């Protein structure tokens, strides 16, 4: 069993879609980033890369490379899964926490879990998404941005 931790944070901005866990949310702000800035999938990707000792998202998909500009984080995570599988490793499970004052994700949580499970090629019961706020503290508490943390376990065949 191999375990990795991932973390990501992005600032809220106007005129961007808000995508979390591969799902588009109806929200007046989106997240700023070189890609689609899906903090949930970025945290998952970094957790998986960490468990496989394959570096991090910034190394594989640098924000200085035009190839990754505006790319869907689902595509990035799919590429990560291929790298991990090529190493003979497979995702066992992921546990994710979305950290933000808004938007609330409870109505789309199951949809997020299903989409993530499809990308990871695991049963949906192996993906857990939850959320918390910072109780109004700090930049996230002021709704300036959102973050996510994830932990992933991998197995090797």
**What CATH number does the domain located at 2-156 have?**
3.30.1330.50
Q: Is the pLDDT of residue 134 over 90?
A: yes
pLDDT of residue 64: 87
**Quick one: pLDDT band at residue 157, thresholds 50, 70, 90?**
confident
Bridge-based pairing state of the strands 89-99 and 127-132: parallel
> Residue 38 in contact with residue 16, Cβ under 8 Å?
no
Asked whether 5 and 149 are in contact (CB, 8 A), the reply is yes
How many Cα neighbours within 13 Å face the side chain of 136? 0
Give per-residue pLDDT as tens, 63-112: 888 888 889 999 999 999 999 999 999 999 999 999 999 999 999 999 99
Look up tokens 């291929």; give the residue.
82
Taking alpha carbons only, the member of 97, 110, 100, 2 closest to residue 44 is 97
According to the model, what pLDDT value does residue 115 have?
98
């Amino acid at each position: 069993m191999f375990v990795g931790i991932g973390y990501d944070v992005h600032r809220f901005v106007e005129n961007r879609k808000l995508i979390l866990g591969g799902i588009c949310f109806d929200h007046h702000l989106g997240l700023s980033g070189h890609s689609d800035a899906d903090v949930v999938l970025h945290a998952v990707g970094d957790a998986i890369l960490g468990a496989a000792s394959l570096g991090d998202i910034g190394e594989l998909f640098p924000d200085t490379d035009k190839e990754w500009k505006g790319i869907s984080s689902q595509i990035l995570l799919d590429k990560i899964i291929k790298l991990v599988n090529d190493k003979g490793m497979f995702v066992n499970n992921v546990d994710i926490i979305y950290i933000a004052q808004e938007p609330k994700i409870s109505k789309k949580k199951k949809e997020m879990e299903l989409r993530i499970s499809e990308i990871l090629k695991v049963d949906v019961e192996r993906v857990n998404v939850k959320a918390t706020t910072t109780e109004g503290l700090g930049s996230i508490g002021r709704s300036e941005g959102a973050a996510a943390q994830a932990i992933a376990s991998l197995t090797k065949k």
